[in-house]
Chains A and B, each alone.
Chain A
Amino acid sequence: MAWQVDALYIYLVLVAAVMTLLIFTAVAIFAVKYRVRPGQKAHQIEGSIVLEIGWSIIPFGVMLTFFVWGAVLFFKERTPPASATEVYVVAKQWMWKIEHMEGQREINELHVPTGQNIKLIMTSQDVIHSFYVPAFRLKQDVLPGRYTTLWFKATQPGTYHLFCAEYCGTSHSGMIGNIVVMEPQQYAQWLSGGPSAPLPEAGKELFSSLGCATCHRFDVQGRGPNLTNVFNKPVLLEDGRTVIADENYVRESILSPTAKIVSGFKPVMPTFQGLVTDEQLNALVAYVKSLAQQPSGAAGAQNQSTASPTGQPKNMQVQ
């Protein structure tokens, strides 16, 4: 992705340089050539509609190319591919907490393999932060109360800066870290060193300990919708709208269940606002997500649920 941003940037720099030179030389030439001389009067010119229209429309046309190219690029930057390894990020004053699906946790460091699409699902515990990796030319604000996402595919092994780019208080400039990009084999090695349980596992435990399973049942129709194969699918709501059951929808359904009631169900679920932490929410979301990734969908999540096939579905030339 980085080189695509650079390409557009170079295009913009060139256009800007041409424009700047054009205006600077025009001003300089006029200033010298028409400097005041005794006996020589200024030549009055009213204006020119043709010129006015010309220098309105032509720059606007050029700017439209900026817009289209920029928007296409932005669309790619903001649309994670379906097959992406997911990593949860929780920001707080003043650190980055990273949770891998496999259970590894890191602080201010994110290890990723090369050649793999990585999707970050991010939220903040307090104020607004911003996840910024200059080397990837990517940035996304991290908000309290909802998820924002960011995706990338690293190509070069190495260590890259991670900055907080949205001012967040005293140690804003200390809220920095490293993105460690590794060859896939090394990454696998690094992963296997991790001790803790996979994230969806943790979510599954929460799912039963919080009593979610009493209503959201997998065998018979409970008082709540069966959550198998729900994730990332369109959901028909009671009021006729349709929404995609993405991370934010699942999160919202836990915190304010009555906001978007699934068609055919009663708004009987209590809110879990204040009862679950951001990390627990992440686990629950990861669990619900894992339910959509296996054929039966009954209980239980796969360990490698999201480590999608390394072979890309198509040779996407995105990066």
Chain B
Amino acid sequence: MADSQATVVETDVQNPELRHHFADMEQQKNAASLGMWLFLVTEIMFFGGMFCAYLVYRTSHFAALAAGSQTLDIKWGAINTAVLIVSSVTVVLAINAIQFGRQKLTVAYLVITVLLGFVFLGIKSIEYTNKFEEHHVPGPGFHFTGTFDDNGKQIPVAENEVQLFFSLYFAMTGMHALHMIIGIGIMSTLAVMTWKGRFSQGYYTPIENAGLYWHLVDIIWIYLFPLLYLISRHT
């Protein structure tokens, strides 16, 4: 066992990032990448449960869900979508920068990403606050007087069923926001690590994998935005 690293390709022996049980950096990187993608699949299935609930209730309680959806502020939803897209761009730019070994630039992009993440959460909290003020938070204090505006036709909806929409809204966006918070934590850590010189042209797998995670959270929002805000606007 003493010679466990003797079989390793010479150029990689010096790389301090090579774990003992991998033959070379390529095997290690491929393993990490596959592992990350598998993890993303678990995330898809995790949100999939809620998407399934959404689909079921949109077919069975259409008017109530639509009425709830129409009270959301489309402006904030759209701005937040844009914020996330820009943050995804800064993530790929960070990876591009580290691929050229420009660590300072990488740090800068990661910091911007984190800041955009906070902007997203800030906007989300504005929306949540509005919901609280409007008594649109499910529970004993819930109150909803609106109707479903079906191209001008005002369709009354049952108050309790509109709670279904807001339950879905808070569950889905809340779980998404939780993922954003985790993402911000990861990105901040990576920014610090990059600042300390842990990553270089030769080794930046953690940044790459964190980027994959960030993009997936972005993709989930890309679906949440139309499902929750858009598709009931006009039917």
Residues of A within 8 A of B (CB): 255-259, 266-271, 273-274
For chain B, the count of residues having a C-beta within 8 Å of the partner chain is 14
Task: With both chains docked as a complex, state the minimum distance between the C-beta of B162 and any C-beta of chain A, in angstroms.
Answer: 11
A258→B153 CA distance, assembly (Å): 12
* Residues of chain A lying within 8 A (CB to CB) of residue B148: 258
Contact of B157 with A by CB under 8 A: yes
Is the pair B63, A271 in contact by a Cβ cutoff of 8 Å? no
Q: Does B161 contact A256, Cβ atoms closer than 8 Å? A: yes
**In the docked arrangement, what's the CA distance between A273 and B144, Å?**
14
B64, A256: Cβ atoms under 8 Å? yes
Complex contact A256–B155 (CB within 8 A): no
CB contact between A273 and one of B63, B153, B155, B158 (< 8 Å): that residue? B158
> A256-B64, A258-B148, A259-B60 given as contacts; is B158 within 8 A of A267 (CB)?
no
Which secondary structure dominates where chain A touches chain B? Answer: loop
Q: How far apart are the CA atoms of A258 and B147 in the complex, in Å?
A: 11
With both chains docked as a complex, state the minimum distance between the C-beta of A312 and any C-beta of chain B, in angstroms: 36
**Residue B156 lies at the interface, judged by CB distance under 8 Å to chain A:** yes
Q: Are B61 and A256 in contact (CB under 8 A)?
A: yes
List B contacts of A259 (CB < 8 A): 60-64
A14 CB to nearest B CB, Å: 41
A270-B156 in contact (CB<8A)? yes
Q: A268 to B160, Cβ gap below 8 A?
A: no
- Shortest Cβ distance from A45 into chain B, in angstroms? 37
User: Is B158 a contact partner of A256 (Cβ separation < 8 A)?
Assistant: yes
Contact of B156 among A258, A273, A274 (CB under 8 A): A258
Minimum Cβ distance to chain A for residue B234 (Å): 15
A267–B154 CA distance with the chains assembled, in angstroms = 8
Contacts of B153 in A (CB 8 A): 266-267
Determine if A267 and B155 form an interchain contact, defined as CB atoms under 8 angstroms apart: yes
With A and B bound together, what is the CA distance between A259 and B65 in angstroms?
11
- Pair B160/A267 contact, Cβ less than 8 Å: no
Nearest chain B CB to A258 CB, angstrom units: 4
Q: Please give the distance in Å from B148's CB to the nearest CB on chain A.
A: 7
The distance from the CB of B157 to the nearest CB of chain A, in whole angstroms, is 6
Q: Decide if B156 touches A267 in the complex (CB within 8 Å).
A: yes
Are A258 and B155 interface neighbours, CB within 8 A? yes
Residues of chain B within 8 A (CB-CB) of A268 are 156
Q: Are A258 and B63 in contact (CB under 8 A)?
A: yes
Once bound together, how far apart are the Cα atoms of A129 and B156, in whole Å?
33
B157 touches A258 (CB 8 A): yes
B60 to A273, Cβ gap below 8 A?
Answer: no
Q: How far is A266 from B156 in the complex, measured between Cα atoms in Å?
A: 10
Contact B158 A255 (CB under 8 A): yes
How many whole Å from B20's CB to the nearest CB in chain A? 39
Bound CA–CA A266/B159 (angstroms): 18
Known contacts A267-B63, A267-B156, A271-B159; can you find 12 more A-B pairs with CB under 8 A?
Answer: A255-B158, A256-B61, A256-B64, A258-B148, A258-B155, A258-B156, A258-B157, A259-B60, A259-B64, A269-B156, A271-B160, A273-B160
Binary per-residue interface labels of chain B (45-62) against chain A in the complex, 1 for a CB within 8 Å, 0 otherwise: 000000000000000111
Closest CB of chain A to B231's CB: distance in Å? 16
Smallest CB separation, A93 vs chain B (Å): 22
In the docked arrangement, what's the CA distance between A274 and B142, Å? 15
14 sample A-B contacts, Cβ–Cβ < 8 Å, listed by A number = A256-B158, A256-B161, A258-B148, A258-B155, A258-B157, A258-B158, A259-B61, A259-B63, A268-B156, A270-B156, A271-B156, A271-B158, A271-B160, A273-B158
Residue of B whose beta carbon sits closest to that of A239? B62
Q: Shortest beta-carbon distance, B57 to chain A, in Å?
A: 11
For B235, give the chain A residue with the smallest CB separation.
A239
- Interchain CA distance A259-B160 in the complex, whole Å: 13
Most A-side CB within 10 Å, residue of B63, B148, B153: B63
